C-alpha cells in the first residue's frame, strides 16, 4: 500500500512521535509531507522514509483559538490542498496526522478522489480549542473516510462535536519498549551529574505549556521540602512566555536548589530511570499521554491527573495513582503516599510496567492499524473520499 502521510508540524511532539512508529512499516512506496521543516524530518530520514516539506504562506497559522478563519488563510489552505492533491494522485490514500493536515487532506482528497484516514490526537472541546478550530475539525471529521482516535476520551469529545462516531476507530499509542527494558535500572551517575542527592526525585516530562500544568508541580514541590524535582521538555507551539513564567516561579518559590529545568531531551528512558517517581500534571483533559506509559515502562510509580487518557491507561491504586487535575495538595498527598510506602509503590510500579508492556506493544498496534487501513484501501475503488461508511 502506498500512503501519503501529511502532518502540519515537524516538531517532536507526541503526535509526531506516534507518526514515526506508524509510518515505518509502510515506508516503501509511501511519503510524508510536512508543512514546516524541523527535527521530525531528520527522524524520518533516519528511518529511510521519504519526506517532502511544503511550506504554506504564513496565513495558515492564523487559524487560532477564538478567531474566525481569515480569508488569507482560506486562500492559503486551498493552495496547499491543491499541492497535496497533486501528490496524492500517486498514492492509494492520504493519512492525515494533525488537525490542519486533516483539513487540507480532506480538501485534497476530494480534488484527487482519494480516501482520507485522519488520526485525531486532540480532545476537541472548548478547553483546548477556539470556535474556528472546532468548526474546521467538524468539517474534517465529516469528510474523512475513516477516523482514528488516540483514546476513548478523544472519541467521546469528537462524538459530542459531530454527533456521530460511525467510522471512528480507537488506536492507542504504542511504544518501542527496548530502550526502556535495556536501560539499567539505577542511574546513580546521571543523578549525581544533574546535582541531585539520594532524596526522592520526582520527574515531570513533556512540552512546557500552561495546560500541561508544570506550575502545579512547582507549587507541590514548595510544600515538600525534602523532595527534588526534574522538569524535562521545552515549549513547542509558542509557549515561551510560560517557560519564562516557570523559571520565575522557581525563584519566587525558592526552589532553585531543588528543581532543574532540562529543556528538550532525547534520552527519556535514562532520565525516567534517574527519577524515583514520574508525575503527570495536565490541568485540562489529556487526550492520551505518552509520558504516562513511558513512566510505567520505566518501572517507576506514576501519578497522573485524573481526566482523559490517564483514566484509560492507569487503574487507580493498582498500576499507578490518579489525583484531581490542578490540585497541588492532592498531588502532594499521592506523592507522599508513594514515598512513605515504598514496598507498595514498588509493587504498583511492577504491575504498571507489566500492564504497559502488554497493552501498548507496537506489534498489536500495527496489526490493528493494518486491518483498518486495508478496509480503507479496499473501499478506494468503490467509495469516494467524503462519503461516510
- Which residues would be at the binding site for ligand UDP (CB under 6 A)? 12-15, 17, 205-207, 232-233, 264-266, 268, 288-291, 294
| Pick 186 or 364: Cβ nearer ligand GLC | 364
Shortest Å distance, C-beta 85 to ligand UDP: 28
Closest by CA to 48, choosing from 14, 18, 25, is: 25
Strands 50-53 and 302-305: unpaired
The answer to whether 287 contacts ligand GLC (rule: CB under 6 A) is yes
From the number of C-beta atoms within 10 Å of its C-beta (0-12, 13-18, 19+), residue 340 rates as exposed
Shortest Å distance, C-beta 311 to ligand GLC: 12
Shortest Å distance, C-beta 37 to ligand GLC: 20
| Pick 26 or 175: Cβ nearer ligand GLC | 175
| Pick 237 or 382: Cβ nearer ligand GLC | 237
Q: Which of residues 305-324 bind ligand GLC (CB under 6 A)?
A: 309
Question: Would you say 123 and 150 are in contact if contact means Cβ atoms under 8 Å apart?
Answer: no
Question: Would you say 93 and 87 are in contact if contact means Cβ atoms under 8 Å apart?
Answer: no
The answer to whether 212 contacts ligand GLC (rule: CB under 6 A) is no
Shortest Å distance, C-beta 384 to ligand GLC: 28
The interface partner of residue 26, options being ligand UDP, ligand GLC, none and the CB cut-off 5 to 8 Å by kind, is: none
**Alpha helix positions (H), the chain:** 14-23, 39-46, 71-88, 99-112, 131-143, 152-162, 178-182, 188-193, 214-222, 240-252, 268-274, 290-297, 309-313, 328-340, 342-359, 362-379
For residues 372 and 169, give the distance between their C-alpha atoms in angstroms, rounded to a whole number: 8
| Pick 269 or 309: Cβ nearer ligand GLC | 309
Please tell me the number of Cα atoms within 13 Å of 99 on its side-chain side: 20
For residues 331 and 313, give the distance between their C-alpha atoms in angstroms, rounded to a whole number: 18
Shortest Å distance, C-beta 287 to ligand GLC: 4
Instruction: Sheet with 50-53: list strands edge to edge.
Output: 50-53, 31-34, 3-7, 93-96, 116-120, 146-149, 168-170
For residues 100 and 8, give the distance between their C-alpha atoms in angstroms, rounded to a whole number: 6
The interface partner of residue 268, options being ligand UDP, ligand GLC, none and the CB cut-off 5 to 8 Å by kind, is: ligand UDP
For residues 310 and 126, give the distance between their C-alpha atoms in angstroms, rounded to a whole number: 20
| Pick 191 or 207: Cβ nearer ligand GLC | 207
Q: Which of residues 10-69 bind ligand GLC (CB under 6 A)?
A: 13-15, 18
Q: Which of residues 131-160 bind ligand GLC (CB under 6 A)?
A: 150
Indicate the DSSP class of residue 326. Answer: T
Shortest Å distance, C-beta 185 to ligand GLC: 25
Shortest Å distance, C-beta 237 to ligand UDP: 9
Count the Cβ atoms, other than its own, within 10 Å of residue 266: 9
| Pick 109 or 203: Cβ nearer ligand UDP | 203
Applying CB under 6 A, the site for ligand GLC has a residue count of 13
**Cα separation of the two ends of the chain:** 20
Strands 259-263 and 228-232: parallel
For residues 338 and 345, give the distance between their C-alpha atoms in angstroms, rounded to a whole number: 5
The interface partner of residue 207, options being ligand GLC, ligand UDP, none and the CB cut-off 5 to 8 Å by kind, is: ligand UDP
Taking CB atoms, the residue at the shortest distance from ligand GLC is 14
x/- binding map, residues 329-368, to ligand GLC, per CB under 6 A?
----------------------------------------
The interface partner of residue 294, options being ligand GLC, ligand UDP, none and the CB cut-off 5 to 8 Å by kind, is: ligand UDP
Q: Which of residues 171-190 bind ligand GLC (CB under 6 A)?
A: 173
Q: Which of residues 97-126 bind ligand GLC (CB under 6 A)?
A: 121
Binding site for ligand GLC (CB under 6 A): 13-15, 18, 121, 150, 173, 286-290, 309
Amino acid at each position: 500500500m502506498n500512503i501519503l502521510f501529511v502532518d502540519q508540524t515537524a516538531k517532536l511532539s507526541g503526535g509526531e512521535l506516534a507518526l514515526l512508529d506508524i509510518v515505518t512499516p509502510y515506508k516503501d512506496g509511501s511519503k510524508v509531507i510536512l508543512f514546516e521543516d524541523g527535527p521530525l524530518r531528520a527522524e524520518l530520514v533516519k528511518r529511510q522514509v521519504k519526506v517532502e516539506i511544503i511550506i504554506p504562506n504564513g496565513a495558515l497559522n492564523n487559524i487560532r483559538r477564538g478567531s474566525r478563519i481569515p480569508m488569507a488563510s482560506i486562500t492559503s489552505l486551498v493552495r496547499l490542498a491543491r499541492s497535496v492533491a497533486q501528490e496524492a494522485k500517486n498514492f492509494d490514500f492520504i493519512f492525515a496526522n494533525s488537525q490542519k493536515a486533516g483539513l487540507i487532506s480532506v480538501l485534497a482528497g476530494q480534488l484527487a478522489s482519494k480516501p482520507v484516514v485522519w488520526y485525531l490526537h486532540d480532545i476537541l472541546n472548548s478547553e483546548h480549542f477556539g470556535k474556528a478550530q472546532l468548526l474546521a475539525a467538524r468539517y474534517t471529521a465529516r469528510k474523512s473516510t475513516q477516523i482514528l482516535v488516540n483514546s476513548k476520551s478523544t472519541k467521546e469529545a469528537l462524538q459530542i462535536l459531530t454527533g456521530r462516531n460511525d467510522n471512528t476507530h480507537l488506536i492507542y499509542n504504542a511504544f518501542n519498549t527496548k530502550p526502556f527494558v535495556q536501560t539499567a535500572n539505577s542511574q546513580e551517575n546521571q543523578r549525581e551529574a544533574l546535582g541531585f542527592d539520594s532524596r526522592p526525585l520526582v520527574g515531570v516530562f513533556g512540552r512546557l505549556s500552561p495546560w500541561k500544568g508544570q506550575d502545579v508541580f512547582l507549587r507541590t514541590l514548595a510544600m515538600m521540602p525534602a523532595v527534588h524535582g526534574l522538569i524535562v521538555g521545552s515549549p513547542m507551539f509558542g509557549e515561551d512566555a510560560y517557560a519564562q513564567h516557570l523559571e520565575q516561579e522557581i525563584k519566587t518559590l525558592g526552589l532553585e536548589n531543588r528543581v532543574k529545568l532540562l529543556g528538550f531531551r532525547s534520552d527519556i528512558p535514562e532520565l525516567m530511570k534517574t527519577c524515583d517517581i514520574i508525575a503527570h500534571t495536565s490541568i485540562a483533559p489529556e487526550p492520551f499521554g505518552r509520558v504516562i506509559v513511558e513512566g510505567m515502562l520505566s518501572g517507576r510509580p506514576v501519578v497522573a491527573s485524573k481526566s482523559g487518557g490517564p483514566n484509560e491507561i492507569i487503574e487507580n491504586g493498582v498500576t499507578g495513582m490518579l489525583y484531581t487535575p490542578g490540585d497541588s495538595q492532592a498531588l502532594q498527598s499521592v506523592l507522599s503516599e508513594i514515598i512513605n510506602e515504598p514496598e507498595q509503590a514498588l509493587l504498583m510500579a511492577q504491575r504498571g510496567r507489566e500492564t504497559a508492556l502488554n497493552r501498548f506493544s507496537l506489534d498489536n498496534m500495527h496489526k490493528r492499524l493494518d486491518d483498518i487501513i486495508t478496509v480503507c484501501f479496499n473501499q478506494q475503488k468503490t467509495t469516494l473520499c467524503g462519503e461516510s461508511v
